[in-house]
Amino acid sequence: MNLIETNKDKFDKLYELYSEYNSHTNISAIRDKDSVYKKHFEDSLVIAPYITQKLSIVDIGTGGGFPALPLAICFPKCKITAVDSIGKKTKFIDLVKDELKLN
């Protein structure tokens, strides 16, 4: 099962939000769509086989929300906390959380 394809609408929206936000506020040097999907989305889901539905996860130093955001999309029953010291990055995470209605 491909988790990105299963949640295609949300990942497409995440990419759209990421691309727009990253155009005016640098949250990552990775910009082209294929690289974002591979290096941010797919890499974030490498741990997916080890996640149970009610796991609590803390992503310390999350940067632009990776792996926290892809994990939150694919595992909505998990409690995922994203922590970073850079305000512009946590603002992006809050924006995505609200737009995608993530817990």
HEC per residue, the chain: CCHHHHCHHHHHHHHHHHHHHHHHCCCCCCCCHHHHHHHHHHHHCCCHHHCCCCCEEEEECCCCCCCHHHHHHHCCCCEEEEECCCHHHHHHHHHHHHHHCCC
How high is the pLDDT of residue 1? Answer: 54
pTM score, whole prediction: 0.94
Q: Which residues of the chain have pLDDT under 50?
A: none
